[in-house]
Structure 1
Amino acid sequence: MKSLIIDKLFNRVKERGVVCVGLDTALEYIPSYIFEGRSEVEALVEFNKAIIDATIDVAACFKVQIAYYESLGLKGMMAYKETLDYLREKDAIIIADIKRGDIAATAKQYAKAHFEGDFEADFITLSPYMGMDSIEPYMPYIEKGDKGIFSLVRTSNPGAEDIEMLKTVDSRDVYKVVGDKIAEIGKEVIGQCGYSSIGGVIGCTHVEEGIEIRKRFKNMFFLIPGYGAQGGKADDVALYLNSGNGGVVNSSRAILLAYKKQEGREKEFAICAREEVIRMRDEIKAAVESL
């Protein structure tokens, strides 16, 4: 059995912990002094590089949310590219949070755009709610072994109840139907670690479902949002992991803005980010050990 990208991510979690650093970088997050003598793009990239350098050895991976860059137009997309380039230089595992959900020829172009060229990433996020044919165009890349996806399954936002919790004719929740189908496709690309390169986005804010979800999707690696700002706690996250692995836990604002919680540390923003990653990592590890 050949090694897949999911094996690399699994091993990073073993080595560095479960934290996924979210580079959802808004201009207002950046300390004012960084803009001195720099353009907005230069300041954004400088900020991201400092965060990456400070956290690379204590984070499993980095998630770059494309919307924060698209909103700035062409200059923002240059910052996106330069951030991806720098992550690749550091041998970081990159999750491009793009949430594409189209089919056929359009999806093939999305796959080419984000698995090759200027915007290449290791994993991308997808929305499967048009059907499983929205996943198929990405499979040739995934089957080669060095790419993977995280498909939306059970999200952490309140509006998830509108669709994901609807009952189907066989009394399953919609998200379970979606998850079951994703898990079935994922059997084609199981790594040496026992997890599939087709993972799921599983929010940690629905604690009462945590144990069932982990048991139901045993070969699915989770990208777990909802920790911190959305109310998820370390004890909640622990339910979605398997002995501290089987998922990565994303945090964005809490890491990027950690310096704002401590007066006078603006110029130590990267150190503050590192401290927050370590605090989060250790808190989740302790919660796992207490189960």
Structure 2
Amino acid sequence: MTNYIIDKLYNRVEERGVVCVGLDTALSYIPDHIKEGRTDSEAIFEFNKQIIDATWDVSACFKVQIAYYEALGLEGLIAYKKTLDYLRDKGEIIIADIKRGDIAATATMYAKAHFDGDFEADFITLSPYMGMDSIEPYLPYLEKGSKGVFSLVRTSNPGAEDIEYLDTTGDKKVYEVVADKITEMGKNYTGSCGYTAIGGVIGCTHVEEGKKIRSNYSNMFFLIPGYGAQGGKAEDVALYLNNGNGGVVNSSRGILLAYKKENREKEFALCAREEAIKMRDAIREAVKNI
């Protein structure tokens, strides 16, 4: 039986909880004493490094949003690569949030770029709304067991209702049709934990559907955005989990900027750790109360 990366992520959640630390690092987030005497690239990496060192043992994984690094050009991409390398050297699980959605040869090149070489990650995010053939070029990497993807299904933004919530002729919402297709595609990559290496991005901000989505897609591992800054609460997140597993919950600004709540710039990494623990424990408690 193939050992899939999803089994490793499942086990990390069992060990450390569901927190996914989002390294969506903007220069404005970084305290002045970290910036002083450093280039932009050096400052971003030093900030990320200290956040990683402070939170790795209370987090299941780290999500690195590439847009924050691309926006700074080569300086940003150097920091992006150094962050990925550091996470890998520490044995942490990396989700590269790249949201690619193209097809054919272009998608093949995206797969090579982000599953191999300088920008290698364990999981990447994809957008399937151009069709399922936008995911197929990534499947050879999944077959080896060491890589996985999270496909957008039902996102946390208000605009999700513009397309994802449209009714289809089969009395299902568009996002449900997408989830059905992803579930079917993922069956060939099922780990021993029961979840597949093709997970779904499921925002926690539409709580009325939480239990239904978790029940309907019991083999889909969820990457859950929307917690904290976007309004999602621990009790909302708990609906999308299965006995406290089956998903990871991303928090970016809530963790990275925790130090600003108490004006503790010198202790920004400690504040991030405290926030991650608070988040982890709140979600665990909410799961008990379902």
TM-score w.r.t. the length of structure 2 is 0.99
Deviation at 1:170, TM superposition (A): 1.1
Residue in structure 1 matched with residue 192 of structure 2 by the alignment: 192
Equivalent residue number for residue 228 of structure 1: 228
- Partner residue of 2:250? 250
User: For 2:228, what is the secondary structure of its paired residue?
Assistant: coil
Q: Which moved more, 1:245-254 or 1:164-173?
A: 164-173
C-alpha RMSD over aligned residues:
0.5
Report the equivalent of 2:238: 238
Q: In 2, distance between residues paired with 1:230 and 1:154? A: 15
**Letter paired with 1:108:** T
- Quote how far apart the aligned CAs of 1:36 are: 1.4
Residues 113-151 of structure 1: per-residue CA shift (max 9 Å, x gap): 000000000000000000000000000000100000000
Q: Once the two structures are superposed, what CA deviation does each residue of 1:56-105 show, in whole Å capped at 9, x if it has no partner?
A: 10000000000000000011100100000000011000000000000000
Which residue is equivalent to 1:4?
A: 4
Equivalent in the alignment of 2:278: 279
Question: Which residue does the alignment assign to 2:110?
Answer: 110
Deviations 1:155-184 (A, max 9, x none): 000000000000111111000000000000
Secondary structure at 1:158 match in 2: coil
In structure 1, C-alpha distance between the alignment counterparts of 2:33 and 2:157, rounded to whole Å: 34
User: Which whole-Å CA distance do the structure 2 matches of 1:187 and 1:223 have between them?
Assistant: 18
Percent identity of the aligned residues? 76
1:242: how far off?
A: 0.2
Which residue type is aligned with residue 282 of structure 2?
E
User: Residue 53 of structure 1 aligns with which residue?
Assistant: 53
- Are residues 1:135 and 2:96 paired? no
- CA distance in 1 between counterparts of 2:265 and 2:36 reads 14
Can you give the 5+ residue segments of structure 2 that lack an aligned partner in the other structure? none
The 2-side partners of 1:2 and 1:170 are apart by 35
Q: Name the structure 2 match of 1:14.
A: 14
| SS of equivalent to 1:129 | coil
1:94 matches 2:81: no
**Which amino acid in 2 is paired with 1:136?**
E
Q: Distance in 1 between matches of 2:228 and 2:45?
A: 25
- Residue matched to 2:166: 166
SS in 1 for 2:58: coil
In 1: Cα distance, 2:211 partner to 2:36 partner:
49
Structure 1 residue 35: Cα displacement: 1.3
Deviation at 1:287, TM superposition (A): 0.2
Residue by residue over 1:24-60, the C-alpha shift from the partner in whole angstroms, topping out at 9 and shown as x without a partner, is 0000000001111111110110000000000010000
- The residue type equivalent to 1:67 in the other structure is A
What letter is aligned with 1:259? Y
List runs of 5+ in structure 1 lacking aligned partners: none
Match of 1:145 in 2: 145
CA distance in structure 1 between the partners assigned to 2:141 and 2:24 by the alignment: 26
Counterpart code for 1:81 = K
Counterpart secondary structure, 2:242: coil
* Equivalent position SS for 2:218: coil
Cα displacement (A) at 1:2 = 2.5
1:76 maps to which residue?
76
Q: Residue 41 of structure 2 aligns to which amino acid in structure 1?
A: V
Per-residue CA deviation, residues 222-255 of structure 1 (Å, 9 max, x unaligned), is 0000011111110000000000000000000000
Kindly report which structure 2 residues correspond to 1:252-271, keeping only aligned pairs within 5 A, or say none.
Answer: 252-263=252-263, 265-271=264-270
1:288 aligns to 2:287 (yes or no): yes
CA separation in 2, counterparts of 1:230 and 1:79?
Answer: 26
The normalised TM-score by structure 1 is: 0.99
Q: Which amino acid aligns with 2:76?
A: G
Equivalent residues, number = 290
Rounded to whole Å, the distance in 2 between the matches of 1:205 and 1:170 is 25
